[in-house]
Amino acid sequence: MSKVILTFDYELFLGEDSGIAQKSILEPTSKIIKLLKKYNSKAIFFVDATYLMALKKYNHSDLLLITNQLKEIILIGSSVELHLHPQWLDAKPNKDRWIFESFDRYRLHSLSKDKINSLFKDGIDILESITNKKIKAFRAGGWSITPFHTLQDAFLENNIKLDMSVCPRFYKDELPMHYYDFLNVPNKEFYRFSDDVNIEDTDGNFMEIPVTTYYMKGIDLVVNNLIKKLYKDTIYGDGKGLSSSTIQENILKRVFKQNLRKATIESQSHWFFKKSLQKIDNKNFISYVMHPKTLTKTSFRNLEYLLIKYKTLNTNDLIKEFS
């Protein structure tokens, strides 16, 4: 029986419209917690600590609501871990939403090493003050973990042992804002590394558990989109992220080729979800990535299916499994 790692990036929208915490974070996460409790299951929530820092900086009323929910996540046996989106350094509140004055600091690599280290420390401090649990794992905002040597000191100084930022065979180069390169990562469900997340080092200081990836036919994507439109499967969140310059250009090309996908429950009809699961069900560990803000009613149906069928793991479970 496969074991499933359910990870949720706990964050607002980072683009055209931030959305509000109630709709984009609190309500969908409350539904996740309810299902996890129902099936005595676990998940890992990568919490955008830079968002929490902004809430604290502006004495925002949402901080108390977020704090209470993170404590509830810990109480049900799930994990809260570190997620950083440095564009929050350029954010200001605007009524019930946030305005990002610049996206020049979208990647951690846009900062000095000293600023990266302090951002890690401050993020860990605010999360540990809420959860009273040691932070052990990290996921980079926008998957921007490469090149890793820029972040290595921050990992060492803050005792981060586990990274979950890699999506095998994915690549993006939209510099200066966005970049990651996972074309040549080890074809493994787990590996150790030192100063390069793309190169296995059996004696490395850090563990990598990549997101599970797989290929689907383009025609399956077309059918999936038609089903979603038929059932009007809209997301819970009320914001909008940044638009990619390549999505619209590549739609026709994607129909006629195999498409690389991340294991997830979002943006999928139940038909597509079940079909994608057939591609990865032979693995010992399946690592899923989700965002509360982009879940739909069908997403929760997909989530419940996983909770019924598979054993789920939190961070401590992972460290025991792979140490």
Question: The tokens of 25 are what?
Answer: 């974070």
- Separation between Cα atoms, residue 143 and residue 151, nearest integer Å: 13
pLDDT in tens, 194-223: 999 999 999 999 999 999 999 999 999 989
Q: Is the pLDDT of residue 247 over 70?
A: no
Q: How far apart are the first and last CA of the chain?
A: 20
Domain annotation for the chain: domains and CATH numbers? 3-322 (3.20.20.370)
Average pLDDT (148-171) is: 97
Q: What pLDDT does 322 receive?
A: 87
The residue behind tokens 């973990």 is 145
Q: Is the pLDDT of residue 231 over 90?
A: no
The residues, any chain, with a CB within 8 Å of residue 8's CB and separated by 6 or more, are 29, 32, 43, 44, 45, 46, 290, 291, 292
pLDDT in tens, 9-57: 999 999 899 999 999 999 999 999 999 999 999 999 999 999 999 999 9
Q: What pLDDT does 74 receive?
A: 98
Are 81 and 139 in contact by the 8 Å Cβ rule? The answer is: yes
Average pLDDT (277-302) is: 95
Ranges 16-20, 148-152, 222-226: which has the least confidence: 222-226
Q: What pLDDT does 245 receive?
A: 47
Average pLDDT (83-102) is: 95
Question: The tokens of 54 are what?
Answer: 């902004």
Mean pLDDT for all residues in the chain: 94
Q: Could you tell me where the DSSP H helices lie in the chain?
A: 21, 27-38, 49-57, 62-75, 113-131, 152-157, 218-230, 251-255, 270-280, 297-309, 315-322
Q: What pLDDT does 106 receive?
A: 94
Are 212 and 283 in contact by the 8 Å Cβ rule? The answer is: yes
